[in-house]
DNA sequence: TTAATGGTGCCTTAATTTGTCACTTTTAAT
DNA sequence: ATTAAAAGTGACAAATTAAGGCACCATTAA
């Protein structure tokens, strides 16, 4: 019997069993254990809601079925879920392996004809344009798993046409403005760093002892690690109303907006090697910003504009 | 994608179509005609009640609804949906009224204890930072409904501290970089315009006759309406590799990236009154761009940098 | 500790799947 | 009658996948 047909029969086979084992599949379909295992993998890929139970008297079982309408979710909720899914779809890589086609088809299947028409019509009229993802990031899953399970990774990281090796302990991953980033502790440099995931060209788990105290660090409190170094420079800039809007559109955790005597300022600190980045960022404010301090930042910005003028 | 998975997705794909052709399959699954044909054979072998109609305007049809193996969402898919929903939650206004608390509870109810723990752990390690919504937009639902049902609206629109009344026929709404926008046809000005939804202070349906031919216009083909006027100015700029990356992060429908003799250029056109906007946009490229034409754009950019220099 | 159960990695061999290409056949519109 | 747009066939080489075997790992309940 060929595989696709066998897989389909398996779907039906498992569907009227609450519980089955590899043995069952092996006997039922006359295949080896290895093949049965691979078939299970194929079933999962298709989207069968099975899960494994380890150990003696273990086996496979079916998950609670997630019932869609009319039972659980109302139309509004279904629309919201549908569009949430569509928004996610615009990522080309995700830290979970998901077949959007499969989710999409499942969704549409569960809907009534009129709901389907509603979605069809709404679909043409609403969109979430986040910046599209620019480069694929291949190792998201391994980075995420390392963060969750507190593992240390050895990665190859590409920077300015050079590739170096780093030993890192990932803390979290996040998506921002078209790129995936990984917050991590660099074991060699003994410092917290952020890596752009598409520049990580390989990643493998090592046996190196992780820092135990990272366990409790999550996305929410990770910023506490970012103590500016002793070389960090404080800056302060006056911004007008437009500048405030721009700040809200583009801002970074280390930069804050404050209100002081009828005026708005943005303040923060930067490491000396980040000055080019800061200059680029501040220039985005155009006329809506005025650097108060330090003087060197003013000087650098002046230099930046002068260079640009000469380059036109 | 492997065959068994594809075959199963096909089952679902054809199930909610009354009619489809080889072309559809080829396009949908990115396979050759021969393979599509072989897949059809496989589907029939499995037992799908398909029959072929020969000749022009032929295709395939389903004899009767088939009974699909009842598959529900698997763990990975549930995780993806959950995070998609969390991402949507960061919008303070949405075009549908949704209680996230209710969705959230329903979600968690369906999960097993171990899945709930998985989500908990992943949650602390992954985030999607889209730009958060900056201002509430109150009339999204009425705008969307007007777009879907082809109604004409009377809106109050605030621009530079002045409020004016407009008669518009909405085409679509979209979310970009923190703001909701509405594409619409301005009945009075007889022109297509984009409105920022948070600046719409009121909106009500009118009985004014809509333009019938907007019915077929959707998000996807709306750009065809944006014929540049006769005053529009063409521009062309040379960009380097960094410039290409910047373009991919921030681009607009009317601007394109082209490859020409080993060099990359961005080209497009702007209306004379948009020149400030274009200058701001081009300045974002920093050193990665060189304006080729027109001369006036170079001049304006030079002026822009000079002003900024003087303002430091 | 042990036995039963799922899971992984690796290898070789066998089989299937795929795309391409040049045809046919059928049907409805013109 | 002609034509265009559909499905369908046969054949072949290349690429991919599946299969079985085997050793060993990981997890769990008795």
Single out the residue of A171, A169, A172 nearest to residue A205, CA to CA: A169
DSSP-derived secondary structure for A240-256: -HHHHHHHHHS--TTEE
Q: How many other CB atoms are there within 10 angstroms of residue A149's CB atom?
A: 11
Q: How confident is the model at residue A265 (pLDDT cuts 50, 70, 90)?
A: very high
Q: Which residues pair with A181 in a beta bridge?
A: A174, A196
Which pLDDT belongs to residue A128? 73
**Domain identity same for A24 and A47:** yes
Other beta carbons within 10 angstroms of residue B46's beta carbon come to: 17
| Residue A266 covered by a domain | yes
Residue B137, pLDDT > 50, answer: yes
Is the Cα dihedral B251, B254, B260, B265 positive or negative? negative
Q: Tell me how far apart the alpha carbons of residues B245 and A89 are, in angstroms, rounded to a whole number.
A: 21
Task: Show the tokens assigned to A132.
Answer: 């599209």
Is the same domain home to A110 and A44? no
User: Of A46, A77, A284, which is closest to B8 when you measure between CB atoms?
Assistant: A46
- Does nucleic acid strand D have an atom less than 7 angstroms from the CB of B96? no
Specify whether the CB–CB gap between B202 and B155 falls below 8 A: yes
A133 DSSP assignment: P
What gap in Å lies between CA B169 and CA B171, rounded to an integer? 7
Question: Are A157 and A212 contained in the same domain?
Answer: yes
Residue A97 reports pLDDT greater than 70: no
B237 and B215 in one domain?
A: no
Placement of tokens 């590409």 in the chain: A158
- Together in a domain, A145 and A101: no
pLDDT value of position A131: 60
Highest mean pLDDT (candidates A116-120, A150-154, B32-36): B32-36
Q: How far is the CA of A1 from the C1' of C3 (A)?
A: 33
Between the CA of residue A227 and those of A3, A135, A230, A271, what are the distances in Å? 57, 30, 9, 11
Per the model's pLDDT, the better-predicted residue between B132 and B309 turns out to be: B309
Rg for chain B (alpha carbons), in Å? Answer: 26
- Asked if the Cβ–Cβ distance from A103 to B88 is below 8 Å, we say no
Residue scoring higher pLDDT (B311 or B160): B311
Q: Burial of B81 by CB count in 10 Å (0-12 exposed, 13-18 middle, 19+ buried)?
A: buried
What pLDDT band is residue A205 in, cutting at 50, 70 and 90?
Answer: confident
* Minimum Cα–Cα distance from B4: chain A residue: A4
Domain match, B219 and B237 both: no
| B293 and B253 inside one domain | yes
**Greater pLDDT, A74 or A37:** A37
The number of C-alpha atoms within 13 Å of A248 and in the hemisphere containing its C-beta is 12
Cβ contact A21 with chain D strand, < 7 A = no
pLDDT at B160: 67
Q: A150 in a domain, yes or no?
A: yes
- CA A273 to each of CA A279, A285, B231, B246: distance values in angstroms, whole numbers, following the listed order: 11, 21, 46, 21
Residues A125-135: tens digit of each pLDDT = 887 776 666 66
Mean pLDDT, residues A295-304 = 88
- Give domain status of residue B128, yes or no: no
Question: Which has the higher per-residue pLDDT, A224 or A117?
Answer: A117
d(CA B156, CA B73): 45
Q: What does strand C contact on the protein, if contact means CB under 7 A?
A: A 2-4, 21-23, 34, 37, 40, 52-60; B 2-3, 6, 30-35, 38-39, 54-58
Would you give the DSSP letter of residue A90? T
Least confident of A53-57, A185-189, A224-228, B91-95: A224-228
End-to-end Cα distance, chain B: 57
Q: Are A42 and A7 in contact (CB under 8 A)?
A: yes
Interchain CB distance below 8 Å, B88 and A85: no
Q: How confident is the model at residue B153 (pLDDT cuts 50, 70, 90)?
A: very high
Exposure of A233 in the CB half-sphere (CA atoms within 13 A): 14
Q: How confident is the model at residue A92 (pLDDT cuts 50, 70, 90)?
A: low
Residue A198 shares a structural domain with residue A169: yes
Q: Which two tokens stand for residue B143?
A: 């705008």
Q: Quick check: A38 CB within 7 A of strand D? A: yes
Task: Note whether A159 and A194 are same-domain residues.
Answer: yes
CA-to-C1' distance for B50 and D7, Å? 13
Does residue B102 share a domain with residue B83?
A: yes
Task: Look at residue A70 in the predicted model and tell me its pLDDT.
Answer: 47
Average pLDDT over residues A144-171: 82
- How does residue A287 score in pLDDT terms, banded at 50, 70 and 90? confident
Q: pLDDT category, A215, cuts 50, 70, 90?
A: low
d(CA A112, CA B14): 16
Distance in angstroms (rounded) separating the CA atoms of residues A86 and B134: 22
The mean pLDDT value of chain A amounts to 79
| Beta-bridge partners for A183 | A172, A194
Contacts of B245 in chain A (CB under 8 A): 134
CA–CA separation, A285 vs B308, rounded Å? 10
Please tell me which residue, A82 or B111, carries the higher pLDDT value.
A82
> What is the CATH classification number for the domain harbouring A20?
1.10.10.10
Asked whether residue A216 carries a pLDDT value surpassing 80, the answer given is no
Task: Choose from A16, A43, A66, A284 for mutation: most chain B CBs within 10 A.
Answer: A66
The one-character DSSP state at A290 is E
Distance B56 CA to D4 C1' (A): 7
pLDDT of B154 over the 90 cut: yes
What is the per-residue pLDDT across B22-38, written as a single tens digit (0 to 9) for each?
A: 888 888 888 888 889 98
Poorest-pLDDT segment among A75-79, A149-153, B96-100, B147-151 = B96-100
Any domain includes B263: yes
Question: In terms of domains, do A301 and A245 share one?
Answer: yes
Q: Is residue A131 part of a domain?
A: no
CATH code for the domain in which residue B289 is found: 3.30.70
pLDDT number for residue B155: 92
List Cβ<8 Å contacts ≥24 apart for B30-36: B31/B6
Q: How many CB atoms lie within 10 A of CB B144?
A: 21
Mean pLDDT of chain B: 80
Position B149 in a domain: yes
Choose among B199, B202, B205: nearest CA to B136.
B199
Q: What is the pLDDT of residues B239-288, one digit of tens each?
A: 888 888 888 777 776 788 888 888 889 888 888 878 888 888 888 888 88
Q: How far apart are CA A265 and CA A258, in angstroms?
A: 5
Q: Look at strands A191-196 and A179-186 and give their pairing.
A: antiparallel
Residues A47-75 have pLDDT tens digits of 788 888 887 777 888 776 666 554 567 77
Mean pLDDT of B128-135: 66
Structure token pair of residue A256: 């804050």
**pLDDT digits 0-9 by tens, B163-180:** 889 999 888 888 877 788
Cβ neighbours of A108 in B, within 8 Å:
16
Distance CA B169, CA B211 (A): 8
In angstroms, the CA B206 to CA B246 distance is 43
Cα–Cα dist B98/B93, whole Å: 10
pLDDT at A251 over 60: yes
Q: Is-contact A157 A200, C-beta < 8 A?
A: yes
Q: What is the mean pLDDT of residues A147-174?
A: 82
- In a 13 Å sphere around the CA of B123, the CA atoms on its Cβ side amount to 14
pTM score, whole prediction: 0.72
Q: Is the CB of B42 under 7 A from strand D?
A: no
For B134, what's the count of Cα atoms within 13 Å in the CB-facing half-sphere? 21
CATH of residue B169's domain is 2.30.30
3-state secondary structure (DSSP) of residue A87: helix
End of a domain among B191, B206, B225?
B225
Of B97, B129, B284, the CB nearest to A174: B129
pLDDT exceeds 80 at position B45: no
Q: Which nucleotide is nearest to B39 (CA to C1')?
A: C17
Helix A75-89 crosses helix B75-88 at what angle (to 10 degrees)?
A: 100
Position B212 confidence tier, pLDDT thresholds 50, 70, 90: low
The pLDDT value recorded for residue B167 is: 92
Burial (CB < 10 A; 0-12, 13-18, 19+), residue A88, is buried
Residue A2 confidence (pLDDT) above 80: no
Those residues with Cβ within 8 angstroms of residue A220's Cβ, 6 or more apart along the chain or in another chain: B124
Three-class SS of residue A61? strand
A47 vs B contacts (CB less than 8 Å): 8, 71, 73-74, 77
**Would the CB atoms of B78 and A66 count as touching at under 8 Å?**
yes
Burial class (CB in 10 A: 0-12, 13-18, 19+), B243: buried
Q: Name the residue closest to the C1' of C28 by its CA.
A: B56
* Same domain, yes or no: A218 and A147: yes
- Does residue A68 lie in a domain region? no
Q: Give the range with max mean pLDDT: A150-154, A176-180, B27-31.
A: B27-31
Of A63, A80, A125, the CB nearest to B144: A125
CB pairs under 8 A between A and B: 265
In a domain? residue A135? no
* pLDDT confidence of residue A210: 72
Q: What integer pLDDT is reported at residue B29 of this predicted model?
A: 85
Tally of domains within chain B: 4
Domain extent for A288: 233-311
For residue B178, what is the nearest residue in chain A, using CA coordinates? A249
Q: Six-digit token pair at B55? A: 């000749």
Which residue is closest to B8 within chain A, CA to CA? A46
Q: Of A260 and A65, which is predicted with more confidence? A: A260
CA to C1' distance (Å), from B2 to D17? 9
């Amino acid at each position: 019997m060929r595989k696709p047909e066998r897989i389909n029969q398996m779907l039906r086979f498992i569907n009227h069993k609450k519980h089955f084992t590899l043995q069952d599949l092996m006997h039922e379909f006359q295949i080896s254990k290895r093949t049965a295992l691979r078939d299970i993998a194929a079933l999962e890929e298709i989207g069968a809601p099975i899960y494994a139970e380890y150990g003696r008297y273990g086996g496979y079982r079916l998950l609670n079925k997630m019932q869609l309408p009319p039972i659980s979710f109302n139309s509004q909720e279904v629309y919201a879920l549908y569009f949430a899914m569509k928004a996610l779809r615009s990522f080309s890589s995700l830290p979970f392996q998901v077949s959007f086609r499969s989710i999409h088809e499942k969704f549409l299947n569960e809907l009534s004809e009129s709901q389907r028409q509603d979605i069809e019509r709404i679909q043409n009229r609403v969109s979430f344009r986040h910046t599209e993802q620019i480069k694929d990031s291949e190792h998201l899953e391994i980075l995420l798993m390392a963060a969750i399970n507190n593992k240390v990774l050895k990665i190859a990281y590409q920077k300015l046409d050079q590739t170096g090796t780093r030993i890192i302990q990932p803390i979290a991953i996040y998506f921002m403005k078209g790129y995936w980033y990984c917050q991590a502790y660099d074991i060699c440099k003994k410092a917290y760093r952020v890596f752009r995931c598409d520049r990580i060209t390989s990643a493998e788990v090592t046996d190196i002892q992780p820092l135990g105290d990272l366990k409790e660090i999550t996305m929410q409190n990770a910023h506490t690690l970012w103590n500016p170094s002793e070389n960090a420079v404080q800056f302060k800039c006056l911004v007008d109303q437009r500048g405030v809007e721009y700040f809200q559109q583009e801002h970074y955790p280390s930069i804050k907006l404050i209100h002081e005597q009828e005026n708005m300022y943005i303040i923060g600190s930067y490491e000396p090697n980040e000055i080019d980045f800061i200059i680029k960022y501040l220039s985005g404010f155009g006329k809506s910003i005025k650097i108060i301090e330090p003087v060197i930042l003013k000087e650098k910005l002046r230099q930046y504009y002068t260079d640009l003028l000469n380059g036109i």
